[in-house]
Amino acid sequence: MDAGGLGPFLDRGLERVAEKVAAGERLSFADGTLVATTSDLLGVGRLANLVRERLHGDATYFNVNRHLNPTNVCVASCALCAFAEKYGGSRGWTYTVEQAVEVAARDVTEDVTELHIVGGLHPKLGVEYYEALFAALSARFPWVHLKALTMVEIDFLAQRAKLPVEDVVRRLVAAGLGSCPGGGAEIFAERVRAVICDHKTSGERWLEIAREVHSLGVKSNCTMLYGHIETAEERVDHLVRLRELQDETGGFQCFIPLAFHPANTRLAHVAPSTGRLDLQTVALARLMLDNIPHVKAYWIMLGAKAAQVALHFGADDLDGTVVDERITLAAGGEAGAGMARADLEHLIREAQRVPVERDTLYRPVAVAPLSAAG
């Protein structure tokens, strides 16, 4: 077998996957399981890289963004999370709208194109708070896209207000919401959710809300939290469910695999993910998600070096400068301070790829040339 001209493989089983990849055919659940479990890491990397280059050539996307977490107070108490604090707890913060705008203003220069806004499920903050926040941020930084609120937060706001999701999303869009980040998806399998994020929005519900958000013309991203108690089959199942929804809506722009960080969580006994698992998961995602345009190597969670290598294992995006990231930081991450645009570009060029600054909707950003003074 010539495996679509892509062989040879250390794992001969990959030859049937290679033939499908060469022919542009969709991979099955069984193919995904093989890709997720084979010891032929470089083999799956080669296949994922082929798909990545078919879609994007050498282009590697990044943006200039800042995170903003209006509150870490949360009614949920997920074992996976080191960020949340109970209402009234000593580690909690909740910004007024004015304070949130001032925190954002510390770093929102004219280069920043995106605010990534997520937070806890605060028992006292309703839709009105987020409407006021988005309106105030849009008024102060009209050039900045607000990528805000996960499906879990939208679900919470709708239930709290006893309003249909549609009404909540329409109100938030009217106030300035531009698109939604992909967090909170974790792993859809209920067996896993019962341990890592019990009492949170179910996997089914997360997908239902994403369907509703997309039907209102709002784009979103999607994620998968891996490297804790899930099996390879549960990872593949998660990706297949995202792929099915994307067939229906086309609303996902980007998939982001999130490496679980155990420190300071109730799962602190779990070993952190390894380079092999990180790269194989990026490759698995690129190969399974044939209908989602972008796969992000989120450098904050992978570390800059593994993220750079991931650009040859299926990823075409590094996320951004990410100033003031707090969720990974709370769980032992080391990158809370962000990265300068020049350093991101250097990482990409050093990987023999071509940096393309994008906005949240993946439109290239025209960067003003450095002025030749005089």
Least distance (Å) between residue 280 CB and ligand V47: 17
User: What are the tokens at 266?
Assistant: 């109730």
- Answer for which of 155, 319, 357, 359 binds ligand V47 (CB under 6 A) is 319
One residue of 4, 32, 181, 314 binding ligand V47 per CB under 6 A:
181
Q: Which two tokens stand for residue 186?
A: 């974790």
- The reply on whether position 81 binds ligand V47 by CB under 6 A is yes
The residue (of 353 and 358) whose beta carbon lies closer to ligand V47 is: 358
Residue nearest to ligand V47 (CB): 183
In 10 A of CB 190, how many CB atoms? Answer: 11
Question: Exactly one of 43, 70, 178, 183 binds ligand V47 (CB under 6 A); which one?
Answer: 183
Q: Which of 47, 51, 80, 239 binds ligand V47 (CB under 6 A)?
A: 80
| Alpha-carbon span 1 to 46, nearest angstrom | 17
Cross-strand partners of 254: 294
Residue 122: closest CA among 162, 165, 157, 83: 157
Among 32, 43, 119, 182, binds ligand V47 (CB under 6 A): 182
- Residue 223 sits in the site that holds ligand V47 (CB under 6 A): yes
CA-nearest of 238, 237, 198, 215 to 77 is 198
Q: Least Å distance between CB 29 and ligand V47?
A: 23
Instruction: Measure the N-to-C terminal CA separation of the chain; round to a whole number of Å.
Output: 65
DSSP string of 138-178? HHH-TTSEEEE--HHHHHHHHHHHT--HHHHHHHHHHHTEE
Name the minimum Å distance from CB 258 to ligand V47. 5
Give me the 229-258 binding string for ligand V47, x by CB under 6 A, dash otherwise.
---------------------------x-x
Distance of alpha carbon 301 from alpha carbon 196, whole angstroms: 18
Residues 6+ apart with CB under 8 A from 88: none
Instruction: Using alpha carbons, select from 359, 366, 364, 365 the residue that is nearest to residue 178.
Output: 359
* Shortest separation between residue 334's beta carbon and ligand V47, angstroms: 13
Q: Is 184 in the site for ligand V47 (CB under 6 A)?
A: yes
Which of the ranges 89-97, 130-138, 278-286, 323-331 carries the binding residues for ligand V47, by CB under 6 A? 323-331
Determine which residue in the list 115, 309, 327, 339 makes contact with ligand V47, applying CB under 6 A: 327
Site residues (vs ligand V47, CB under 6 A) = 80-82, 150, 181-184, 186, 221, 223, 225, 256, 258, 260-261, 265, 298, 319, 327-328, 331
